[in-house]
């Protein structure tokens, strides 16, 4: 295994077309669950110049205005371009009502262990959770820094510090590793879209991004850019307007950004747009919870947890742990501890994390917040799978 290498991760702002679609999809999930915690819904979006398409399958136990939710999200993100805005964009829908099913109409809070065992998953997937001690959030440093830059890029726009910015933007951070530990910042890239060509000029844009985005992000970081760090700000020239008018968007197309920036494996299944009955969503959360608690307990410096689920079973058919040679005990011993102390069953995960009721507890919506800047490693949201309350069992 390599010990000296350079690794790069990217993030995008809330106005990136793919993230726009993720947020609309998860805002719809929030609205369904706020009306009925037991609602079933799967929804996906696609966006392009002047048009948004929503496809959804749901059980008809809630009254949700899909198009109104979409227009609200577009407006909140800040799209006011002639080519794409909340008032004039066309919204097409393909909505399919599914027959009402009693299969997953259960109150997990009142289930016995035997009843939890009888509730099976309805789709198959392999999911991954990862944690490492590179940051205080136990996330890989490249994706952590890329998210911080993307957040700051949005922040200076929302606060009107750089009023010429539009919602679409990208960030990228390369970190040089020595002996598998972050050593220095190799490179930083920020792509910011602006309203008009020539305003501001290219040099002013670079200066503004450096002073208001890059410098504040690294101010309190242990590892900062040095004299050899390569910094690129709109290296291909002005990026005018951006958004769906320039490049299309699709729900679930940013899985690496949603998870570990490809420093670790991640599932091929989208996380956004699914209610909590979908194991391909919540399985990724419990896998992160397991990996984070292992690293927090100092059983390993890095840990990847793999869970494989098959249709018709309540438990994973496979639980695998990889600590990349950093484990204080064997990977097999850690796997045995997970099987003993963690509940990876569908109803058990929903019960422990209270996943059906979080949108009601958070009136502004819960799942939409996950749809940008990561589903894991977040410290700005009280995420149950980010807790390290299982450290004591190891």
Whether pLDDT at 24 is above 90:
yes
The DSSP code for 213 is: I
Looking at 217, 247, 277, the residue that finishes a domain is 247
Looking at 208, 229, 247, the residue that finishes a domain is 247
Q: Are residues 235 and 257 both part of a single domain? A: no
Instruction: Please report whether residue 102 resides in a domain.
Output: no
Instruction: Please report whether residue 231 resides in a domain.
Output: yes
Whether pLDDT at 79 is above 80:
yes
Number of domains in the chain: 3
Q: Are residues 258 and 379 both part of a single domain? A: yes
Pair of tokens at residue 1: 């295994």
Average pLDDT (368-388) is 97
Q: Are residues 256 and 361 both part of a single domain? A: yes
Looking at 247, 268, 299, the residue that finishes a domain is 247
pLDDT value of position 1: 66
Adjacent-strand bridge partners of 170: 12, 191
Instruction: Please report whether residue 242 resides in a domain.
Output: yes
pLDDT bucket at 12, cuts 50 / 70 / 90 = very high
Inter-helix orientation angle 17-35/66-77, to 10° = 130
Instruction: Please report whether residue 293 resides in a domain.
Output: yes
Q: Are residues 87 and 162 both part of a single domain? A: no
pLDDT value of position 99: 83
Q: Range of 176's domain?
A: 5-12+141-247
Instruction: Please report whether residue 122 resides in a domain.
Output: yes
Residues shown for the chain: 394
Q: Are residues 229 and 170 both part of a single domain? A: yes
Alpha helices in 166-272 (DSSP H): 202-209, 215-218, 255-258
- Cα-flanking dihedrals φ and ψ of residue 12, to 5°? -135, 160
Instruction: Please list, residue by residue across 333-352, b when 16 or more beta carbons sit within 10 angstroms of its beta carbon and e when fewer do.
Output: ebbebbeeebebbbbbbbbb
Q: Report the distance separating Cα 75 and Cα 78, nearest Å.
A: 5
The CATH number given to whatever domain includes residue 344 is: 3.30.300.10
Q: Are residues 336 and 383 both part of a single domain? A: yes
Instruction: Please report whether residue 117 resides in a domain.
Output: yes
Q: Are residues 116 and 265 both part of a single domain? A: yes
Instruction: Please report whether residue 103 resides in a domain.
Output: no
pLDDT value of position 155: 97
Q: Are residues 221 and 339 both part of a single domain? A: no
Helix (H), strand (E) at residue 318: strand 318-322
**200: preceding bond cis by omega (within 30 degrees):** yes
Q: Are residues 125 and 85 both part of a single domain? A: no
Q: Report the distance separating Cα 378 and Cα 147, nearest Å.
A: 10
Instruction: Please report whether residue 205 resides in a domain.
Output: yes
Spatial contact of 167 and 15, defined as CB atoms under 8 Å apart: yes
Q: Report the distance separating Cα 150 and Cα 190, nearest Å.
A: 8
Helix (H), strand (E) at residue 222: none
Q: Report the distance separating Cα 351 and Cα 345, nearest Å.
A: 10
Whether pLDDT at 61 is above 80:
no
Spatial contact of 130 and 303, defined as CB atoms under 8 Å apart: yes
The DSSP code for 99 is: P
Q: Are residues 76 and 169 both part of a single domain? A: no
Q: Are residues 239 and 258 both part of a single domain? A: no
The DSSP code for 118 is: H
- Tens of pLDDT along 219-265? 999 999 999 999 999 998 888 889 998 999 999 999 999 999 999 99
- Tens of pLDDT along 120-141? 999 999 999 999 999 999 999 9
CB neighbours (10 Å) of residue 65?
11
Q: Are residues 164 and 186 both part of a single domain? A: yes
């Amino acid at each position: 295994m390599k010990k000296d290498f350079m690794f790069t991760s990217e993030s995008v702002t809330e106005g990136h077309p793919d993230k726009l679609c993720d947020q609309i999809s998860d805002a719809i999930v929030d609205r369904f669950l706020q009306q009925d915690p037991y609602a079933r819904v799967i929804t996906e979006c696609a966006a392009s110049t002047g048009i948004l398409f929503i496809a959804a399958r749901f059980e008809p136990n809630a009254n949700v205005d899909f198009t109104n939710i979409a227009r609200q999200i577009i407006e909140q993100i800040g799209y006011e371009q002639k080519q794409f805005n909340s008032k004039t964009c066309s919204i097409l829908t393909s909505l399919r009502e599914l027959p009402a099913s009693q299969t997953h109409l259960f109150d997990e809070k009142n289930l016995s262990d035997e009843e939890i065992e009888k509730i099976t998953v309805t789709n198959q997937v392999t999911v991954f959770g990862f944690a490492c001690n590179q940051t205080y959030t136990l996330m890989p440093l490249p994706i952590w820094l890329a998210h911080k830059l993307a957040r700051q890029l949005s922040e200076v726009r929302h606060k009107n510090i750089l009023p010429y910015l539009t919602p679409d933007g990208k960030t990228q951070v390369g970190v040089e590793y020595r002996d598998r530990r972050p050593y220095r910042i190799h490179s930083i890239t920020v792509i910011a879209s602006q309203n008009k060509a020539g305003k501001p000029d290219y040099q002013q844009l670079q200066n503004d991004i450096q002073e208001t985005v890059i410098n504040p992000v690294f101010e309190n970081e242990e590892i900062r850019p040095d004299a050899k760090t390569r910094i690129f700000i709109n290296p291909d020239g002005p990026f005018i307007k951006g958004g769906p008018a320039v490049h299309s968007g699709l729900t679930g197309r940013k899985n690496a950004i949603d998870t570990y920036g490809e420093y670790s494996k991640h599932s091929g299944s989208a996380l956004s747009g699914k209610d909590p009955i979908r194991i391909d969503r919540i399985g990724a959360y419990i896998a992160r919870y397991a990996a984070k608690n292992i690293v927090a307990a100092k059983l390993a410096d890095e840990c990847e947890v793999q869970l494989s689920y098959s249709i018709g079973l309540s438990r994973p058919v496979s639980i695998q742990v990889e600590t990349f040679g950093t484990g204080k005990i064997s990977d097999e011993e850690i796997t045995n501890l997970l099987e003993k102390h963690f509940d990876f069953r569908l109803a058990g995960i929903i019960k422990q994390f209270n996943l059906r009721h979080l949108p009601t507890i958070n009136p502004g919506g819960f799942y939409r917040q996950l749809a940008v800047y990561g589903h894991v490693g977040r410290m700005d949201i009280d995420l149950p799978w980010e807790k390290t309350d299982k450290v004591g069992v190891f």
